Structure 1
């Protein structure tokens, strides 16, 4: 009996399925091959190899060169052509944000609608953003029940970085809780002053970021 089948039977035969054994390494290898063969994106000082369908747009702040970007996934943003990239786009458009040094500068971060980044709280706590898939709801921070579910040291390219994962609650605009939550994943390099934030469980993003390059 294969390990994957045994895992299903151990869980009662239905409802729970976790791939184990040989499949997980093969999927990781496939993701690494796709990332290596994809197109190049330069996002400030961060270089990535990504699927051809991903598109990057600068998050502009008046009076300075853009050092922050929003990367949309296949299909872009279904907003009738009115979408503009912003830090708060994380809640309204499938993709991820790459926020550069200006988002860490207290004198400049306000131009993004919030900031600077605080690794002790969710990204949502710093920008006014809707919850993914729930544009009528607003995301909350640690002060409103967001909880950190993972925290560890990683490598972003060849730089030492931090990985944080949050369980973020969603609220009515008037402040009432709803029971809806989403997962927020954050890759943070203090030395480079870059934070990458994903609220859409972007496939293989961890592999893409692990293979990042720096100038």
Structure 2
């Protein structure tokens, strides 16, 4: 069984609140016509960064991180199998990352996971995440005017308990060290890269 970090400890206690139909989304409720004039958008602000996202995406905020659900999701938790979306972490969430029985601060040199131990595959809870130790892509990416993120893409595989590989996937990470923001996506979310590129700042 995987061991969760203190970053995610509050999430389990808040399950009833998140599941309640009356719970308000963290994103601002403003809507406007999308670029094509057919799709509505809303804004999501995190630590001074504002993204314009489709109105169908649901934002669930927990202290210094947020889960942005873009598709099917039974319970919005980072790295929970079967929860389509991406995660936005703040400075506290990436300062004490459990690795090998200790804690490290995320710098972008290694792939990010918010807990230690065995990690389930995002697409199948019965399979394990075989994390990569090498990037498949890296560089700087624009995140709004005057901000650049340290971008990394990591190749990973899902394996059965017997070790058989079932599928491959890429974890994409945008890290803004000055703003203390990390965006993590394993679902290759359509429109996410564009939303980040067009981000507004205050």
Same fold, TM-score > 0.5, yes or no: yes
Mark the structure with the bigger radius of gyration. 1
Alignment gaps of 5+ in structure 2: 1-33
Measure how far apart 1:118 and its partner are: 4.2
Is residue 94 from structure 1 mapped to residue 97 from structure 2 by the alignment?
no
The number of aligned residues is 162
Is residue 69 from structure 1 mapped to residue 66 from structure 2 by the alignment?
yes
Please give the root-mean-square deviation of Cα atoms over the aligned residues, in Å.
2.7
Q: Distance in 2 between matches of 1:125 and 1:69?
A: 13
Measure how far apart 1:190 and its partner are: 1.1
Q: Distance in 2 between matches of 1:102 and 1:132?
A: 24
Q: Distance in 2 between matches of 1:173 and 1:56?
A: 33
**Superposition pairs of residues 42-61 of structure 1, within 5 angstroms:** 42-59=45-62
More strand by share: 2
Instruction: Check the 8 A contact 2:65/2:90 in 1, yes or no.
Output: yes
Residue aligning to 2:185: 198
Identify if the C-alpha distance between structure 1 residues 173 and 160 changes in structure 2 by more than 3 Å, giving closer, same or farther: same
Alignment gaps of 5+ in structure 1: 1-31, 60-65
**Superposition pairs of residues 14-163 of structure 1, within 5 angstroms:** 33=35, 38-59=41-62, 66-74=63-71, 76-77=72-73, 79=74, 83=75, 85-89=76-80, 91-106=81-96, 109=97, 116-124=105-113, 129-142=119-132, 146-158=133-145, 159-163=147-151
Q: Distance in 1 between matches of 2:125 and 2:36?
A: 32
